[in-house]
Structure 1
Amino acid sequence: MAAAKPLECPFCNFSHPDDYALHYHVETSHPEEDGPSPFAVTEDARQEVTEDVEEEAEGPKDSAQDYIECQCGEFCLLAELESHLEMHYAEGTSFDETKQTSTDLAVPGSILLDGRATSPAMQSPPSSPVRDVVPASSKSMVVRSKPRSQTRNRSGKSQNVVQDFIDVLRHSSTPPPRTVSKQRTSKVPQRLGRAELGPHAHEERMPDWLRKQLEQGARVTTATRIGRDGRLIQIEKIANECRDIIPVLAQLCDQDPTVSRVYLCHPAVTHVAKIHREGGFCGYRNIQMLVSYIRDARSEGYRHFSGRLPSVIRLQDMIENAWDMGFNAIGRIETGGIRGTRKYIGTPEAQALLQSLDIGCRAEAFNEGKDMPVQHQLLQAVEQYFLDGHPNMNGKVCQTSQPPMYFQHPGHSLTIVGLEVRKNGSRVLLVFDPMFKASDGIRRLLGVQFRASAPDKLLKAYRRGEEMLRKYSTFEILK
C-alpha cells in the first residue's frame, strides 16, 4: 500500500500524513486569538480527568456517550455534528449582489408586516429603501487540515466540507456526557454530576482569563447617525448582540412560498450570541435575550434592567440571590453553587431569577408517554401560546406582542421567537440560538424592506423543525 501523502500546514512548512496531527499542530502553533488552545493540556484538565465519571443510563434517545467538540469550542452529539456545522454555514450567509430598486416602496418609519405597516413603536424604522436581494452560496467554515481526498468545484472550494470536518473531529476524544435538562423526580435533593452540569460540574472557579473575558464582555463600538429630528446621535453596537431581526424574519417568511402562516413574538428581542471560546453559557445567553425583551418592550420588571444587559457573572449573582430568597432553592444543592463557575444551568435557574424579581413566568415540561409524540406536544403548545396572545389573527404573517420563550432540550437551550405553519401541514420553530451569531446577510437587511430570491437560505439558521426535535424525548419551556 502506498504511503499517505503528507498534509501541509497553510501557515508554515510543517507537514504530516495524519490529518489530526496537522489539526493539533495548527491549533497549538497558530491559534486564532490569544488565549490557551483547546488542545493544550493544563493541570486543571488533568485533575478533571481523574475525577469520578458519572454513569449515564442508556436509552433510545438523548444518548450522552457520543459528544464531540466542535472547532467553535462547543460540545454537541456526534449524530448532530453535521446539522451543527450547517448552522455555522448559515451563520456565514452573505450576498453576492444587493441591487437597489424603486425608492417609492420605502415607507419611512415602518416595515410591512402582514400586509400592514407596523407602528414605529413596534420596530425600528428603515434606514434605506427597498432592496432586491440575491443570496449567494453560504461561506464555508475554515477547515485548515486538508482531507486526503476531495473533489473541488470551479471556485476551488470543497464540495463536501461538512463531512471532511466531521472526519477530522472523529479523531478527537469523547468529552464527558452533556445533558442540561434536570430530572428532579427524587424526593431527596442530590448533587448532580457531569451529565447535567457539564464537564466542569465539580469546578470551584472558572479560569481567570475566562472570567476576565466575561466581565469585559463583547467588543463595543459606536457610530454617529442622523436621528429623526435631524440631530446627530451616537449608536452603540455590541459585537455579540443584534437587534431588530424579527421584522426581517417576518418579511422572509412572507416571501417563502412554503410557509402558510407564521406567528412571531414581540419584535423587541435582541439576539445574543456567545463570545469566542466562552464554552457552555447558553442558559445565561438565553436569559439575556428574555431580559432584552423585558427592557426594550418595557414589560413587567423592566425597571430592574437599565442600560446594557447583565453579564454572565452578574446573572450568576442574581440566581444565587434568588436561591437565598427561596426560589427553586433546591438548585443550590443540586449544583453545589454556580457563582464563578462554568456549570450549566437550565430552566429552573431562569425561572428562579425572574420570580425573584416579581416577573411572572410559568415553566412547562413535555415528556414521552402520552398519546402524542413529544415534539408534537411542544409544537402544539407553542402555537397555542401565540394564538392566546392574539386570537383574531388574519393573513400570513401574525405579529403578536407575546414575549419570547426560554426553550430547553437535552444538551442545549434556545429562545423561541416564532412558529411557522408550512403548507404541507408541518410546523417549525423559529429560534434565536446563542451558539451562533446573526449572519452578515441578515445584518444587511435590518431596518429595510426587501425582496429575497431565496428566503429559505436566510431562514435556515433560525428554523428548528420536527426532524431535529424528534431526536429528543423531553423538552422544557419557560413563558
Structure 2
Amino acid sequence: MTGLNELLDCPMCDFVVGRTDEYVLQLHFEQVHTTDSPFRVEDPKPRATSGYTTQGPTPPPLPRRPQAALSATEIEVTPSSDEEEGNMVECPECAETVPLNEFSQHLDFHAAETLSFDESTGEYHSQNRAEMHGSKFYASHAGNPSFHEQHFNTELPEALRRQDDHGRRSKKKRGRSDTSCSEKSTLSRSIQAFNPFARADKKIKPPSSSCRLGRAELGPHAWEDRMPRWLHDQLAAGPKITTVNRIGRDGRLIKQEQVQNETPGIIPILAQLSALDRSVKEAYYCHPSTLHIGKTPKEGGFCGYRNIQMLISYIQGARAQGHEEFPGRTPGILKLQDLIERAWDKGINNIGRQQTGGIRDTRKYIGTPEAQALFLSAQIDCGVQMFSDVPGGSGEAHDSLLAGIERYFAQAAVSDGSNVYKTLLPPIYLQQPGHSITIIGFERRRDGSCNLMVFDPMYSTSPAMHKLIGRKDIKSPRPEILYAYRRVAKQLRKHAAFEILMLTAHPPLFPVWDV
C-alpha cells in the first residue's frame, strides 16, 4: 500500500510534490512543459478589434527595455520574476492573478473576510475556503499564540516553494525561514526610474523612447483599448447604496446610507483591539475618517485606484488640503482615470502615458507614478520614498520600511496614557511588487517584532468587524479580527523593494477621535 507521505515527481524536471498535491503537479506540467496549454501564461497574439471588448487588441510584444546596473545613484527596475517565469495562478475566489508563493496566504485572507462571531457560543466561524486549497485552520486555542499562528497556515506546500538554480527545493531550518534561497520579488515599475519629483539626490536616467510596458508591469490586460462594456457600465453606475434605519444615542431614528464597498469607522475599533492585545507594546493609528474601500464584484485588479480612493476619503473626512477638489462622494474609478490623464496633459509624470499607452476605460494596472500625478495635479502636497534591499545583505527593504513607518507615526504621537497613539496623520499609499495597499497604522510587539496595520482593497470587511463598528466599550481581545489588518515582517520580507506615497500637508487639528 502506498504511503501518504510518498512524493510525486515531474517526469520532465526536478519538480516534486506530495501525493495529495496531484493537482499542483498537473498545473505545473501544463504551465511549464505544455506549449499549447490554456493554463500557460503568455501575451496573447494580436488580433484586430474595435470598441468595447472582452479582450483588447494585442500588438506583437515589444523588445525589453534596456536595464542599467544597480548602483548607489541609479535604481534598476526589472519586471517581476514571478510574471516572467509564469509562476502566477488565478484565484478561484476573486479571479485575481497571484504569485504562487503568496497563493496560500491570499486564500487565508479570503477566509478571514468571511469571519463571523457567534454571540451564543462565543466562537468565531469562517467559510474554510482556504482549507480546500491546502491552507489549514486550527480549531484549538492553546496557550497565547497569535491568530496568525493559531488559525492560518501561510507556509506554502512543499510543492510550491521556489526552487534554487539547480532545481532543488529550498530547505528550512526548524523555527526559522530560509529566505536566502528564494528570489525576492521586486517592483516591476518604479517611480524613481523616471520621475524628477521622487528624490532630488538621485541621478535619474531619461526614459527610453520606446518604453511601452507589457503584462509584467501592467497586468493581464496590458494591451486592451477598452474594458468590457458590462464592467464599464458597472463602474459608471458606482457601488450600490442602501439606506438603513438605526437608533441614535438620544433614541431618535437615524437614516444611514451604506455604500457597498466602503466601510467607515474601522480605525477606532482597531485602536481598541490593539490596546486589548497583550502582545502589543505600543501602536499608532492614522486619522479615523479614512474609509476601507474594497472591490466590487468581478471588477478585477483596480487596487491602485482603490488605494487612491482611501487617501481621498481621508482628505474628504478630515477636510484636509485639496478637499475642495473632491466634493460629494468618493470619486469612482472612471473619474480617477480621467484625473490621471488630465495630470499627464499638464506634463506631470506624463511618461506614464507612453509606458501604459493610456489608461482611460482600461483595466491596466497603475501604481505610485499615477497616484502622485493625480495628487500633484490637484495641488495636494505629497512625497514618495523607496525602500530596497541593499546589495550584499547589509539591509533589507522590509526592515527599512517598518522603521520608516514607525518614524512617520511617532512624529505626531501624543500620549493619552494608553499604549495606542491616536494621530491625525493621513494614511499612506504602499506599493509592493504586484499589489498596493493602504497603511493606516503600526504596531510594535513586546517581543520586539513589528507589523503594519493596513486596509487591503482586495478583501472586504468581515461580518465580525461589522458587528463591532460603533462600539466604544470592547472588553475582550479579538486577535481573530486583527489578523486581516496585520502585515507582519515575515510577509513583507518576500519583497525586495517598496514605495510609499505620503500626503505631506499639515494635518487638521480638531478632536475627531472623540466624536
Q: TM-score, normalised by structure 2?
A: 0.69
Write the distance in 2 (CA, Å) between the matches of 1:292 and 1:280: 20
Deviation at 1:357, TM superposition (A): 1.0
Matched residue pairs, number? 398
1:276 pairs with one of 284, 297, 303: 297
- 1:295 to 2:304 alignment: no
Deviation at 1:224, TM superposition (A): 2.7
Deviation at 1:388, TM superposition (A): 1.3
CA contact (8 A) 1:54 1:195 kept: no
CA contact (8 A) 2:368 2:499 kept: yes
Deviation at 1:233, TM superposition (A): 3.7
CA contact (8 A) 1:294 1:301 kept: yes
2:343 alignment partner, SS class: helix
Write the distance in 1 (CA, Å) between the matches of 2:342 and 2:153: 44
Equivalences for 1:77-226 in 2 at 5 Å?
A: 77-97=99-119, 134-141=122-129, 179=188, 181=190, 183-184=193-194, 186-189=205-208, 190-226=211-247
C-alpha change, 1:151 and 1:86, in structure 2 (3 Å) is closer
Write the distance in 2 (CA, Å) between the matches of 1:188 and 1:320: 19
Write the distance in 2 (CA, Å) between the matches of 1:262 and 1:443: 22
Residues 32-83 of structure 1 show CA distances to partners (whole Å, capped at 9, x for unaligned) of xxxxxxxxx9996787788438769999985333111101111110110000
Write the distance in 2 (CA, Å) between the matches of 1:67 and 1:92: 24
Deviation at 1:186, TM superposition (A): 4.4
Write the distance in 2 (CA, Å) between the matches of 1:444 and 1:365: 37
Write the distance in 2 (CA, Å) between the matches of 1:228 and 1:325: 49
Alignment partner, residue 447 of structure 2: 424
2:372 pairs with one of 339, 345, 351: 351
CA contact (8 A) 2:80 2:188 kept: no
Q: TM-score, normalised by structure 1?
A: 0.74
Deviation at 1:138, TM superposition (A): 2.5
Residues 309-363 of structure 1 show CA distances to partners (whole Å, capped at 9, x for unaligned) of 1110000000111111122112111111111111100011111111111111111
Write the distance in 1 (CA, Å) between the matches of 2:421 and 2:398: 22
- 1:341 to 2:329 alignment: no
Alignment partner, residue 410 of structure 2: 387
Deviation at 1:472, TM superposition (A): 0.5
**Letter of the 2:88 counterpart:** Y
Deviation at 1:179, TM superposition (A): 4.0
1:360 pairs with one of 361, 378, 381: 381
Alignment partner, residue 467 of structure 2: 444
Alignment partner, residue 273 of structure 2: 252
Write the distance in 2 (CA, Å) between the matches of 1:385 and 1:432: 17
Residues 393-412 of structure 1 show CA distances to partners (whole Å, capped at 9, x for unaligned) of 75311110100000000100
Alignment partner, residue 400 of structure 1: 423
- Any stretches of 5+ residues in structure 1 without a counterpart? 3-17, 21-40, 100-133, 154-159, 171-176
2:382 alignment partner, SS class: coil
**Letter of the 1:312 counterpart:** I
Alignment partner, residue 61 of structure 2: 52
C-alpha change, 1:422 and 1:275, in structure 2 (3 Å) is same
C-alpha change, 1:316 and 1:198, in structure 2 (3 Å) is same
Write the distance in 1 (CA, Å) between the matches of 2:320 and 2:477: 35
- 1:411 to 2:434 alignment: yes
Alignment partner, residue 374 of structure 1: 397
C-alpha change, 1:194 and 1:474, in structure 2 (3 Å) is same
**Letter of the 1:413 counterpart:** S
**Letter of the 1:91 counterpart:** E
- Any stretches of 5+ residues in structure 2 without a counterpart? 3-21, 25-43, 68-76, 140-150, 162-185, 195-203, 503-515
CA contact (8 A) 2:271 2:420 kept: yes
Residues 65-118 of structure 1 show CA distances to partners (whole Å, capped at 9, x for unaligned) of 31111011111101100000010111111012169xxxxxxxxxxxxxxxxxxx
Alignment partner, residue 285 of structure 2: 264
1:314 alignment partner, SS class: helix
Question: What is the aligned-residue RMSD (CA, Å)?
Answer: 3.8
C-alpha change, 1:48 and 1:60, in structure 2 (3 Å) is closer
**Letter of the 1:188 counterpart:** P
2:235 alignment partner, SS class: helix
Alignment partner, residue 27 of structure 1: none
CA contact (8 A) 1:181 1:409 kept: no
Which one has more relative contact order, counting CA pairs under 8 Å at least 6 apart?
A: 1
CA contact (8 A) 1:408 1:475 kept: yes
2:82 pairs with one of 44, 47, 63: 63
Write the distance in 2 (CA, Å) between the matches of 1:406 and 1:53: 31
Give me the identity figure in percent.
Answer: 44
1:461 alignment partner, SS class: helix
C-alpha change, 1:390 and 1:74, in structure 2 (3 Å) is same
C-alpha change, 1:98 and 1:327, in structure 2 (3 Å) is farther
C-alpha change, 1:95 and 1:388, in structure 2 (3 Å) is same
Deviates more, 1:195-204 or 1:313-322: 195-204
Alignment partner, residue 73 of structure 1: 95
2:342 alignment partner, SS class: helix
Deviation at 1:250, TM superposition (A): 0.8
**Letter of the 2:371 counterpart:** A
